[in-house]
Structures are given as structure tokens and as C-alpha cells.
Structure 1
Amino acid sequence: MALIPPLQPMLAEARAELPPERALPGGLAYEQKPDGYRAVLFAGPGHAHLQSRNGADLSGAFPEISVAGRALREPLVLDGELVVATEGRLDFGQLQQRARRRGAGARQAARTTPAHLIVFDVLDTSDGPLLDEPYQVRRALLEELFAHVLAAPFVLCPATTDRARAEDWLDPAWGAAGIEGVVVKGLSQKYQPARRGWIKVRARASAEAVVASVTGRVAAPSTLLLGRYDEAGRLRFIARTAPLSAAARREVGGLLYPGGAEHPWQHRRFSAGWGTRETLDHRPVVPDVVVEFVGDSAVDEGRYRHPVRYLRVRDDIGPEQLPPLGAVRWVV
């Protein structure tokens, strides 16, 4: 094959809504965006290399994918999303645990929580690389491969040219199953490594939570740290908002008061962002203000992985009126 690892995959630019039909060349195709790890598989008879988006070798962590890659009858380079499913939905937490294991631990995990590669593109075959071919040609070839060559643990990513169906995939009910949203691609687009030439739209839904701490000044907070009470009455962190507008700072800040020494988050440390060890400088507040926010479907055990967007104060309900979080495992 002409393509060898590491290969920088083509990326998507985040948008708030589906773009107009002429946003990308040749009309639009829509694909489901599963909640997983981006991965490129270089495979063929007797060899397999599974590469992360950043170029790391994931082959040892997911031996079932490597085994299936080595069993292929012809060489292929496949672009897709690594996922693990448990209890009827994609489980990002289990996927993270799988990614840290090697050796006997990885082989055992492959038996108990097997991974799949949801494939949305084919980049190279024994006939040569396909980067300069339009998306619709690559997609047709990929469907042909799934008809005659590819089987579990490989899964064909659902795709459509029907905008109404793509809008249905943005329903939060799909998010509950682990579908983050939709990736939009041009039917005539070439595959351009490292370029953000596609468009990604996340499924979003609104929810309510208690303001339990803030960054910045209490009277004019920069961001809000939101919590919900679990069934045992413990205040659990669920989300941090994106930076507030000036109007939102005034609206929320005028209702907040500093929390006392008994506040359950008085000595808590919170990460400044997903995957970083930097901690936030935050100020606990009296947890009696409920706000509504909108977030995407990337939620791990009740906690939103990405920043959420503040919508408004819900002064019509109090913290005691919010349903408790279920009995789940939390990382404190």
C-alpha cells in the first residue's frame, strides 16, 4: 500500500446546525458521529497497525481489531471510530479503560468488553490510494467491501443524503444511545489529511442543575460549576459552562452568595479541562440557584465531558425539585 502510518486523518469543524446544501462540493452526505476514539487501521494479510488520531499505536490495546485486520484477504487502510458498547449504548468510559490496557489485560478486556471499529472511509487498497477520489466513490467502494469482505468487529457507519434523516440523528434520543451527532461531508470532496474540511454538528438537549461554584468573582462569575444531588443527598459535579456573556454574569451573579466552610466543594479540586491535570481556581457558592443549560450528548456517568452553554436562571424551581441523580460510580 502507498499509505503508511502515521497518517493525519481529515477532521471536521464544529457548527451549531446543519449547513445549507451548497456548503460543501457536489451536495451533502450525512454520517452518524459515534462517541468513541478516532482511529485509522492499516491492515492486510498477516499485518495490522491501529493508529489513534494523534498517531499513537493502539494495536496492543485492542487486540481483537488487530486480529481481524491481519485476517483480511486484501490490504486496506480504513478510517473510523473505535467504540465499546455496554447495556445498549456506546460507553466512552469503558473505551478509555480499554485504551490503557496492554498484554493479558487487553486480551481479557477484548473478551469481556469487546470493541468495534465503526468504519466511515476507505483510504487505500491494493489498487492504490483513494485520497483524490471523491467521497461518493470511496463510500460506494466501502459499501462493496462490507458486502463481500468486511464483517465484525468492523461496522459500516450509517450514512444518508436525506437531510430529514440527518436531523432525526440529532435528536437527543440518539445521544442517549451514544451517537454524538452528525458529520457532514461533500459528495465530491477529496480526502485531505489534517484539514478540517468536514462539518460536525452535535446533538444537544437542555437540562437543569444547581450552581455550586464559580470561576472569577461571585458577583460576576466567568463560568459556572454545576451540580446535582444524588440519591444519597450528596452534591455531585456534572458540568462546567462555557464563559458567560456580560448579561449572564450580571443575571446570575446578582443571585449568588459565597459558600461557607460547610460547603461540600470547599476543598474540592476540579480539572480545568478534559484530559488535563491543571486545576481550576473556583469559589463555592450557596447551592440554591437553579439554572438551565444546553449540552451535547457526551455524558459519562452523569458528567458532561464538554463545556455546556448557560441558557437562563430557573427561579421557578428550587434544588429540591430537581430529580436526584441515579446511583452511579463517581470519580472524586
Structure 2
Amino acid sequence: MLAAPVADPALPPGWAGEPKWDGWRALVSVEAGRIVLRSRRGTDLAPMFPDIRSGSGQLPDATALDGEIVVWEAGRLAFERLQKRLQRRRAQAARLAAEWPAHFVAFDLLRLAGTDTTRWPYRRRRAALEDLFTEHELAAPWALCPSTTDPATVREWLTWTAVGMEGIVFKRLEGRYEPAVRRWRKYKVLETHDAIVGAITGRLAAPRTLLLGRFDTSGRLQYTGRSTNLSQAAGRALAELLAPATGTHPWAGWTFSAGWGTNETLNATLVRPDLVVEVDVDVARDSAGRWRHPARWHRIRAELHPIQVPKFGEGDEPPADGNLHEQP
């Protein structure tokens, strides 16, 4: 089941809220002692997560859960550790599991001891999921996702961004579990930040996306992320201020990935790194502090000099005025 983005973080009457985890969405089922662990796209994840596979004996037979695989490291959710699990050879899975143990955070129950629960309302599925954890005394690698109907608790969860919590998922209490249907809702916290345009995709006269950077403490421009596709109006406004790179650009010879976890590269054009823009980004970061998801262009900051932009890895706390925006 999927979720549609919403702009309002308030918990609607008749709905429950759950934290939105920065992890890897997965479905797990146990049948006759055999565990199946698959990503939303159908990738077989079991060989890469022996730590989760080893916990299958705790679940009753013919049971299936929907949830998120997460790794907790140094006080925050570490998505990059999950990514490295998938990138490394399967022979290394046991060592990586010992180094970066994963948990399966269960947030919905699809089958219980052979009974299809997808037609049950959420409130009944949730109660059965809680009973499953209690009666079978489920322990690591299994974890139960919190759920609440209290608006104050939802507001508190929205302050958990420092540990990598992305936002809130809302589920209607009387709603069934409908695969591939966007009946759930999701609110993702966005933070406003300044960055320097170091390159673009598309043409200088009509930029399509921006490749953004910040100077590190040694004065070198580091790549921090890229933008979503620009509107025509934004592209025209930016085109008037962009200039092709001259001399030696700090990103000369670099290649830029089209997305997290893909080998596809972008056809980028380097520009003179003297234009500052304001963008909205979510809380997902890699281990170096780069923005893992595309940022939404907000406005041009022509009044700012690039040296005034926070240093790479700095300035990633929410602004003091609480200037947060919904995820597009």
C-alpha cells in the first residue's frame, strides 16, 4: 500500500499517525519455516540481511508483515549502511550484519497464521499486530512501529528529524490494506537551506536541474545534492544569471549520479559557481552530509555571496523560525 503526499502535518480525525522511517521498505513472510524478504520492487533482500532472516523463527507460520528495514548508527538512522549491504557481495553479508545490524520495523499486518488480514480495518490490524509482538515476545531484529491517535504525539514526532525521521504517515482507522493504492497519506518535513549552483543539466539557456554545492572548511566546493526539475519560469530566471565555467572548475572531471543507488550518470554542464539559491530539502542525508533526495528550488538569493553560505556539513539544522515546507 502506498501514501499520497499532503501539505498539512495535522492528524485528521478518524486517522492514526506513524513515524516515517528513513529505511528500506520491505515485505516479509514466513511459510513452513522459509522466510521471504522482498523490497517494494520485488528484489530478494533475504541474502543481504541474514540478521533479519535469522529471526524468522520468532514469527508464527503463514504470517506476513509490511515494514521498513533500518540500521541505527551513532544516534541516527543510517540509510547509507543499508545501501552498502545491497552493494556488497553476498559473501560479505554476515560480516556486514555483525557490523551494522538491521531491524525490521513492522507497521502493518497482512497475514496472521494463515488468515488474510488485508480486508480488516486498520484499527483491527493494528491491534492484532500489537498482540503478535506481545504474545510471541518478539525481539530483535523485529521492532514495532509506534502508532497514535493523539495529535500532540504526532507534533512531537515531527521534531525527531535530527535522528533521520522523515515525517509522518497517516492511516485511516477504518481503512483496509489496498496494495498499490495511495489511500495512506504522508507528510515529509522539509528544511530551507542555501547552496551554490556549480553545474546544471539541460542547456544554459534553459536549465533543467541544478547541481548544488557548498565550500568546505578548506575552501573547496563540495557537491551536496541536486534539485528536482525546474519550472519554465524558474529556468528562465536562472538562465539570466548563469554563466559557463571559466578556467579550472573545482568539479572538472567529476561525474554525478542520477540518483541514490543508481549507476546512471547525469550529463552536466559546469557553470561559474557564484550564484546562490535557496532550496527545500528533506532530512535524508548520507554519511558525509549530502542531501540524498532532490531538493526543490525555492528562490534566487542574489543578495548573498557564495562565501556567506554555510560550510559543507554545517547549517543543516532546521531554521530558527521553523521555516518548514511540505514534500512535493
Q: Deviations over 1:117-142 (max 9, x none)?
A: 01101111125110110000010111
- 1:285 is aligned, of 260, 271, 276, to 271
Aligned to 1:185: 171
Aligned to 1:160: 148
Q: Does 1:14 align with 2:1?
A: no
Q: Is the 8 A contact 1:48 1:70 kept in 2?
A: no
Length, aligned pairs only: 312
Q: Deviations over 1:228-253 (max 9, x none)?
A: 11223221211211222333233332
Shift of 1:185: 0.9
Aligned to 2:305: 318
Aligned to 2:235: 249
Aligned to 1:169: 157
Shift of 1:20: 7.5
Q: Distance in 2 between matches of 1:197 and 1:94?
A: 30
- Structure 1 counterpart of 2:6, one-letter code: R
Q: Is the 8 A contact 1:35 1:90 kept in 2?
A: yes
- 2:120 is aligned, of 133, 139, 144, to 133
Q: Distance in 1 between matches of 2:227 and 2:237?
A: 15
Q: Distance in 2 between matches of 1:62 and 1:81?
A: 13
Aligned to 1:207: 193
Shift of 1:223: 1.9
Q: Is the 8 A contact 1:79 1:121 kept in 2?
A: yes
Shift of 1:256: 2.0
Written as runs of structure 1 = structure 2, the 5 A alignment for 1:79-118 is: 79-101=66-88, 103-118=90-105
Q: Is the 8 A contact 2:110 2:116 kept in 1?
A: yes
Aligned to 1:53: 40
Q: Distance in 1 between matches of 2:201 and 2:48?
A: 37
Q: Is the 8 A contact 1:216 1:223 kept in 2?
A: yes
Q: Is the 8 A contact 1:81 1:117 kept in 2?
A: yes
Q: Deviations over 1:34-65 (max 9, x none)?
A: 11111111126733221211222211111111
Q: Is the 8 A contact 1:118 1:155 kept in 2?
A: yes
Q: Does 1:151 align with 2:108?
A: no
Q: Is the 8 A contact 2:31 2:63 kept in 1?
A: yes
Q: Deviations over 1:279-314 (max 9, x none)?
A: 322221111111111011122122222221111222
Summarize the Cα distance change of 1:87–1:20 in structure 2 as closer, same or farther, 3 Å threshold.
Answer: closer
Q: Distance in 2 between matches of 1:230 and 1:129?
A: 54
Q: Does 1:259 align with 2:250?
A: no
Shift of 1:219: 4.2
Q: Secondary structure at the match of 1:70?
A: helix
Q: Secondary structure at the match of 1:160?
A: coil
Q: Is the 8 A contact 1:226 1:237 kept in 2?
A: yes
Aligned to 1:6: none
Shift of 1:79: 1.0
Q: Is the 8 A contact 1:80 1:120 kept in 2?
A: yes
Aligned to 2:322: none
Q: Is the 8 A contact 1:46 1:71 kept in 2?
A: no
Summarize the Cα distance change of 1:60–1:127 in structure 2 as closer, same or farther, 3 Å threshold.
Answer: closer
Summarize the Cα distance change of 1:226–1:100 in structure 2 as closer, same or farther, 3 Å threshold.
Answer: closer
Q: Is the 8 A contact 1:242 1:310 kept in 2?
A: yes
Q: Is the 8 A contact 1:12 1:198 kept in 2?
A: yes
Shift of 1:103: 4.9
TM-score, length-scaled by structure 1: 0.86
| Structure 1: gaps spanning 5 or more residues | 1-9, 328-332
Q: Does 1:236 align with 2:222?
A: yes
Q: Deviations over 1:148-169 (max 9, x none)?
A: 3222211111111123432443
- Structure 2 counterpart of 1:154, one-letter code: W
**More off after superposition, 113-122 vs 262-271:** 262-271
Q: Distance in 2 between matches of 1:304 and 1:231?
A: 18
- Structure 2 counterpart of 1:209, one-letter code: A
Q: Distance in 2 between matches of 1:278 and 1:114?
A: 29
Q: Distance in 2 between matches of 1:268 and 1:189?
A: 48
Shift of 1:255: 2.1
Shift of 1:93: 0.6
Q: Is the 8 A contact 2:194 2:276 kept in 1?
A: yes
Q: Is the 8 A contact 1:62 1:99 kept in 2?
A: no
| Structure 2: gaps spanning 5 or more residues | 315-328
Q: Secondary structure at the match of 2:118?
A: coil
Q: Is the 8 A contact 2:47 2:90 kept in 1?
A: yes
Aligned to 2:319: none
